[in-house]
Chains A and B, each alone.
Chain A
Amino acid sequence: MSKLKLSCQEANHVCDKNQYKEANFWEKVKLNIHLIYCKACRKYSANNGKLSKLFKVSKVEAMDHNSKEKLKSTFEKELAKHQ
């Protein structure tokens, strides 16, 4: 693989990372070069960006990991009493 070309798999990986602002400058450059000639990845990138945007505008919330675990343990204790 030459320095400037990514495989589709690599390109998708960079694209995923980029959704979380974790791709570095060179990766982004290489991704964009790949997107010039790869239609499938262009489509994936577009959809991926749309998805990120949806999450941003919807402001969905989720429970953080620790409180979920806590909830789980309380609930399981109570569940044991019922069975």
Chain B
Amino acid sequence: MPSHKINPNNWINLYSDYLFNYTISRVNDREMAQDLVSETFLAGLKSMANFKGEASERTWLISILKRKIIDYYRKINSNKGKAEVRMSYNSDSDAEGDWLEERVADPFDKTAEDTLENSELGDAIYDCLGKLPEKQAEVFKMKTILGYDTETICNELDITASNLWVIIHRARAALAGCMEKNWF
């Protein structure tokens, strides 16, 4: 059932932040994540003919991205011996004499469940952001996630400060409603 359509014109606006967020939680390197996202888009463009419409565009792009991330890990591990896990218990000299127990991750600090919940929360946030009008989403992301100050955003997007606050207010109200439904 080809119910989903493919339209690459809007890919960057619609999915780049979502894909980036997905990648950064897995590779932990901004530069690398950006490269992977850009590669994903280009690869998607090349194999557009293979898009059958069984899944949404976003799911389809994520499946490409997953391969890219796996490839990335293969590449950095391809040098012989790098793949094996090496542990040095006392690498930095200033920690000499510390108890080994102190270096074990604190089980109360972060559990697997927390991380899982965090990544799900990230997905939920991006789902809600995706429902906002493009302009609102853009301004809101710059302000909240990237933490740019008001002046920078105003210059970048050529809007006034009061304009920005109105946009932020609408975005926050809509997002709060959306998250209320999907998360709490």
Asked if B130 lies at the interface with its beta carbon under 8 angstroms from chain A, I say no
B residues near A5, Cβ cutoff 8 Å: none
- Report the minimal beta-carbon distance from B46 to chain A, rounded to whole angstroms: 8
Assuming the contacts A54-B179, A67-B34, A71-B12, asked whether A13 and B126 have C-beta atoms less than 8 A apart, the reply is no
Query: Which one of B14-22, B69-77, B87-95, B97-105 is at the interface?
Result: B14-22
Query: Does the CB pair A59–B122 fall under 8 Å?
Result: yes
Count the B residues whose beta carbon is within 8 Å of the partner chain — how many? 41
CA of A49 to CA of B6, assembled, Å:
38
Assuming the contacts A50-B176, A59-B118, asked whether A16 and B168 have C-beta atoms less than 8 A apart, the reply is yes
Asked if A39 lies at the interface with its beta carbon under 8 angstroms from chain B, I say no
Interface size class of A (residues with CB under 8 A): 20 to 34
A residues near B143, Cβ cutoff 8 Å: 20
A residues near B142, Cβ cutoff 8 Å: 62, 65
Contact of B150 among A22, A48, A65, A68 (CB under 8 A): A22
Assuming the contacts A16-B168, A71-B41, asked whether A51 and B122 have C-beta atoms less than 8 A apart, the reply is no
A residues near B121, Cβ cutoff 8 Å: 54, 57-58
User: Chain B 168-184 against A: per-residue CB contact (8 Å), 1 yes, 0 no?
Assistant: 11001101100110010
Query: Does the CB pair A78–B45 fall under 8 Å?
Result: yes
| Interface positions of B (Cβ within 8 A of A) | 8-9, 11-12, 16-17, 20-21, 24-25, 34, 37-38, 41-42, 45, 48, 118, 121-122, 125-126, 141-146, 148, 150, 156, 165, 168-169, 172-173, 175-176, 179-180, 183
A-B contact pairs, 24 of them (CB 8 A): A13-B169, A17-B165, A44-B173, A47-B176, A50-B176, A50-B179, A51-B175, A57-B118, A58-B118, A60-B145, A61-B21, A61-B25, A62-B20, A62-B141, A64-B146, A65-B146, A65-B156, A68-B12, A68-B17, A71-B16, A74-B42, A75-B11, A75-B12, A82-B48
